[in-house]
Amino acid sequence: MPNTETITWQPEVQEFLLAGNYHKVANFYEQAIENESHVVAHYWHLGLSYLLQSYEEEAQTTWLLGMSQIEEEEADRRAAEFSQILDAEARRQTNLNNYQTAWAVRQHLKEIDPHQVNNILHLLLLSFNLNIFEWGLVKDWQVIEILEQSSSEEVDFELILQVLTKILEFRTEETLAFLQSCLPHVRDPKAFNASVMPIAVKISSQYHQPAFAAKIAEVCLDLQPSNSGVLHDLSCFYTNSGEHQKGISTAKEFYKNCQTIERKILGNYLILRAIFSAGSWLEAEEYIQRQESLMLQMIQEPPEKLDRGSNISLLISPFFLPYLQDDLQKNRWFRNQVSQLFQNNLRSLAPASLNFARSTPATQSRPLKIGYIAHTLRSHSVGWLSRWLFQHHDREAFPTTLYCVNQNLEDKFTQNWFRDRVDVTYSLPPDYRTIAGQIHQDEIDILVDLDSITLECTCEVMAMKPAPVQVTWLGWDASGLPAIDHYIADPYVLPENAQEYYQENIWRLPQTYLAVDGFEVGIPTLRREDLEIPSAAIVYLSAQTGYKRHPDTVRLQMQIIKEVPNSYFLIKGLADNLKTQEFFTHMAEEVGVDLQRLKFLPRDLNEFTHRANLTIADVILDTFPYNGATTTLETLWMGVPLVTKVGQQFAARNSYTFMMNAGITEGIAWTDEEYIEWGARLGKDEALRHHVAGKLKASRQTSPLWNAKQFTREMEKAYQQMWQRYLDAGK
């Protein structure tokens, strides 16, 4: 019998089909079967029209009747035709966002051919659209086994990418097994990595699982061993997850592929980031010198135009200078120069549509709309310290909007302390155009950046000037961007002449640039007997990241330990354990301190335990030229004496301003000699330690440092004055 039928819908029913009038479609094919009962395709289409009306049983019966018309030698071809009809309709329903209908059609297709790999991938994709995905589907359908057995010609590569980018976010061992099963079907490694790596970055930055992100990136690197983007991100993942030596070696591999000066700046920065995170100060010297040389060359001979990635590498290039030296003039000069270049380059790259002139006249006679932008409003130093401002904000006088970049708003800390305490909250991808456009659309009057240069995207947003008044507060030193109007400080955290070195206007609050109402404290887990420390011994503690352990300051700390008999030095913080021990051992031997007096501690379980464990110390020794900030506040709250050295730059004066605002001068040193003297004196003089602890306890009731409500009123007054200055300037 000649085959005269077609496997597509008949033209006469197209109008009914597109209108969703499946009853009319069914009537047409019922009549067609009466006239041409031998045409098998009529049964396929009639059954499908029943299915689209949710008549499952009628559909099944019709298809079985069609199959009974098929001769054995044609069975495979007819089954393939039937599959094509179902697949085409499932695609059409998916395009219409009728995911439940598409799911039903594909389930029947799966019954016909349970190993049809692309249909199974489509079903997985639909399960995400329907919010019904679970790993049981992957197991029951034997997806991984089918992928492993399928040829790459059979598998739709684009479909694999779509499914994979969904599955990767589940972050389980099954996820990695699925990823591996996809690899034989990767026809375009570059396209594969371009789809997969952004998910890995999101897993590291938003979900804070850099170790899992590293496993994904390792797969991508196997596909493209010289892919610089993968090498860059993988180095960051390793470093963030504590795989410090892998972070260093991967950063060095990245640098090998850098040809232009802007890429070399980024590569050398990456090496420094990995080295300082590990606490490997002893091997940092050559990279420090190289970074300054590269930055100077870039400033003196700037490229005519930089792409976005190179522009970002320029922005972050001076990041480590405050950790290396307390040179306010030099450090601020580098920061201001590169930030000016960064802003100029960004604006040359930005689309013309990003023009943020205000469409409504500015007035003083209405509540000021305040916007805050950050990526750290979670269990992070910025989150712990800034939360009190949001707690006490007068939202009637200052309607408040949060622009959270790359953050999970379902995080309990974020929700309780921020999302629930403002008028509007956005969770936005790290796309400066989207964020800046939203800020402008919301007509924010004063935009406050909490992160400074610790996230490049927020710097891009601020550089575009989406709000008429822009302010930097809290997260780091000022960014140096010309688009920033003010930088929040106080009488102590910057020296009197600091304005000479800042392009931003330094706005000094009357007492302190930061205040908190206190900290939650857990149960201590450290015991002297567990550390084999006698009860009568003097215990010193340093609890800072590897970034802050400058060799010169560690030598001073070792001299204190040497000078105080029966003293021990506890060392903990984020860094490579082996490198940390090598570093402190080297310093101890150099000064002549018995290595038995050094105790290296693991990280605490959480912030609450960390604060409780601070009380094991008799004295805490601060870092320099980059002081503690959150750790200093926690130390003072717990009533433990602190020794700090004061410098000129912001990073070298944090502990100073906090101690002054807590009413404590004991332990404030202005020279190396005073640092050693205070450290030894506080260690030897028990009465002095008790005196300081008593003053700290009393300060909780009287100090501006612990009065966040008063601080918030001072910030709000500053906002009003900033706005008035803006209005006056426009007259």
Domains and CATH numbers, the chain: 11-220 (1.25.40), 258-349 (no CATH), 370-508 (3.40.50.11380), 529-706 (3.40.50.2000)
For tokens 């790290």, what's the residue?
A: 430
Helix H or strand E segment including 710: helix 708-730
pLDDT at 360: 59
What lies within 8 Å, CB to CB, of 588 at 6+ separation is 558, 561, 594, 595, 597, 598
Across 225-239, 339-353, 630-644, 704-718, least confident range: 339-353
Who contacts 595 (Cβ-Cβ below 8 Å, separation ≥6)?
585, 588, 589
pLDDT bracket for residue 7 (50, 70, 90): low
- Look at residue 79 in the predicted model and tell me its pLDDT: 86
Percent of the chain whose pLDDT exceeds 70 = 98
What is each CA distance from 439 to 36, 291, 318, 373, 424, in whole angstroms? 65, 35, 28, 10, 12
pLDDT in tens, 62-71: 999 988 888 8
pLDDT attached to residue 303: 82
CA distance from start to end of the chain: 91
* Strand order across the beta sheet in which 505-508 lies: 424-428, 400-405, 370-374, 446-449, 469-472, 486-489, 505-508
- Token pair in block for residue 666: 């004991």
Q: What integer pLDDT is reported at residue 364 of this predicted model?
A: 65
Spell out the residues 6+ positions from residue 304 whose beta carbon is closer than 8 angstroms to its own.
none
pLDDT digits (tens, 9 = 90+) for 665-716: 999 999 999 999 999 999 999 999 999 999 999 999 999 999 999 999 999 9
Return the DSSP state at 247. H
* Mean pLDDT along residues 240-261: 94
Measured CA to CA, the distance from residue 392 to residue 394 in angstroms comes to 6
pLDDT tens, position by position, 160-213? 999 999 999 899 999 999 999 999 999 999 999 999 999 999 999 888 899 999
Confidence of residue 1 (pLDDT cuts 50, 70, 90): very low
Q: Would you say residue 3 has pLDDT above 60?
A: no
- Residue 10: its pLDDT value, please? 85
Ranking 102-106, 218-222, 313-317, 493-497 by mean pLDDT, the lowest is 313-317
> How many whole angstroms separate alpha carbon 345 and alpha carbon 307?
8
The residue type found at 370 is I
Distance CA 105, CA 48 (A): 8
Distances from the Cα of 596 to the Cα of 531, 568, 576, 588, angstroms: 11, 8, 20, 10
Query: Residue 641 and residue 111: Cα distance in Å, rounded?
Result: 73
DSSP helix, strand, coil percent of the chain (3-state; round to 5): 60, 10, 35
Decide if pLDDT at 2 tops 60: no
Total H helices, total E strands in the chain: 32, 13
Q: Per residue in 408-429, pLDDT tens?
A: 888 899 999 999 999 999 999 9
Torsion of CA 457, 462, 464, 470, to 10 degrees: 170
What pLDDT shows up at residue 503? 97
Q: DSSP state, 353? A: T
**What does the DSSP 8-state code read for residue 404?**
E
Burial tier of 380 (Cβ tally within 10 Å: 0-12, 13-18, 19+): buried
Name the band, by pLDDT with cuts 50, 70 and 90, for residue 555.
very high
Q: How far, in Å, CA of 695 to CA of 151, rounded?
A: 74
358, pLDDT greater than 60: yes
- What are the residue ranges of helices labelled H in 545-646? 551-563, 577-591, 607-613, 630-637
- Find the mean pLDDT for residues 495-511: 98
- Whether the pLDDT of residue 229 is over 90: the answer is yes
Token output for 392 = 């006490």
Cβ contact 636:663 at 8 Å? no
The token pair that represents 145 in the structure block: 């086994």
Flag whether pLDDT at 333 surpasses 50: yes
**pLDDT of res. 283:** 87
Length reported for the chain: 731
Give the confidence band of 4 by pLDDT, cuts at 50, 70, 90: very low
**Rounded average pLDDT over 547-574:** 94
Q: What is the mean pLDDT of residues 31-42?
A: 90
